[in-house]
Amino acid sequence: MSLRILVCSILVTASTTLPAWSLEITPFQVRNFSPTALVHGLPIAETPYVLPAGATSVNTSFDMASNATVSTRSNQDIILDGESYIATLGLRYGLSDTLQLGIDLPWVWHSEGFMDSFISDWHDFFGLPNGDRDDLQDDQLNYLYSREGKELLGLDDETNGFGDLRLQLAWQIKTTEQSAYTLRTQLKAPTGDADKLTGSEAWDISLALSAQRDFPLGKGQGALWGGFGVSWLGDGEVLEEDVEDYAANGWIGAGWAPLDWLALKLQIDSHTALYDNNLTELGDPAVMLTMGGTLALGEKTLLDIGVGEDLNVNASPDVTLHLNLAHKF
């Protein structure tokens, strides 16, 4: 009951206090925030509309990922039980009307967390299974992987630090008033720490193609978007014997803005296995669903709010919460 009251209160408050602005519908900028996946530099969904020459945008995102899984198979044991928080500062600058430079610097924090009981209530509210949570203690940190009795990954103390820096260059191949197609290349630099699971200590390179189509929908505006990327994963220090050389990922999403200040959005993200391993947590493709929307807080300021679930259970975090505040100058 308390969750229903909270959701209704947020919607009522927003509908009575926000001014009307023209709203740009953009993809959710989310990724797989599992502790063994977030260290790799796969491209993420971004708007294919690049900034005009000389324009700048700044975005600050906060993601909370709750992991709760335990598995044993073929002399292997894995426990991913804890919460990871990722705060990212991103800058975009229009080099020309078709070229855009970008940089993202994350701060990663692994903790025992405090959301386990809330997430169990969330699952009950929507009739979702609780998975391995019933077998794990609430609010503890234990990221562990062992093979044949040898511990190859272990983290049970709270830790934080800078993640891996990501540099990107986007080229808008084609654009019209209602569509855009963009090719984006990204370089991930090893600025994180593998021992803290804030980075892989490897250089990764990726290339992605993204597209979006906007169109009138009822009395509002609709949008469809999608993209596909390939990544070369460098030799790092996180399960280096198992990490794949290459990975592919993609995303598809839809949005509807029934009001000038509100958009509702749905997005599915997926990637191939990042490790050569028969455990679901490491060696299965990940499929993630993010639901939520965008609020226009000003003429050039947008706030994304999203909740994510793992469609391929245990291949990505059980639940993620996503906030992204973006402003154009």
The pLDDT value recorded for residue 328 is 95
Determine the Cα–Cα distance for residues 149 and 291; give it in Å rounded to an integer.
40
Neighbour count for residue 237 (Cβ, 10 Å): 15
Cα–Cα distance, 278 to 312 (Å, whole number): 14
Mean of the per-residue pLDDT values for the chain?
91
CATH number for 216: 2.40.160.40
Q: Do 327 and 303 form a contact (C-beta atoms < 8 A)? A: no
pLDDT of residue 37: 97
Domain containing 127: what range?
2-328
Joined together, the tokens standing for residue 246 give: 């290459």
CB 85 within 8 A of CB 62: yes
Distance CA 75, CA 5 (A): 47
3-state secondary structure 109-123: EEECCCCHHHHHHHH
Give residue 8's pLDDT.
52
Query: How far does Cα 318 stand from its chain's mean position?
Result: 13
The CA-CA-CA angle for residues 148, 150, 152, to 5°, reads: 115
How many folded domains does the chain comprise? 1
pLDDT of residue 135: 73
> Tokens standing for 222?
């609709």
Q: Which amino acid is at 270?
A: S
What pLDDT is attached to residue 119?
Answer: 77
Q: 170-199 pLDDT, tens per residue?
A: 999 999 989 999 999 999 999 999 999 999
Residue 20's pLDDT is: 45
In this predicted structure, what is the pLDDT of residue 22?
Answer: 64
What pLDDT, on the 0 to 100 scale, is given for residue 134? 67
**Which residues of the chain, if any, have pLDDT below 50?**
1-3, 6-7, 10-20
Alpha-carbon radius of gyration of the chain:
20
**Among 279, 284, 289, 294, which Cα is nearest to 320's?**
289
- Residues with Cβ within 8 Å of 209's Cβ and at least 6 positions away in sequence, in order, are 181, 182, 183, 184, 227, 228, 229
- The encoded tokens of residue 249 equal 């990922």
Q: What confidence score (pLDDT) does residue 7 get? A: 46
pLDDT at 18: 45
The Cα–Cα gap between 306 and 324 comes to 9
User: What angle, rounded to 10 degrees, do the helices at 116-126 and 2-17 form?
Assistant: 90
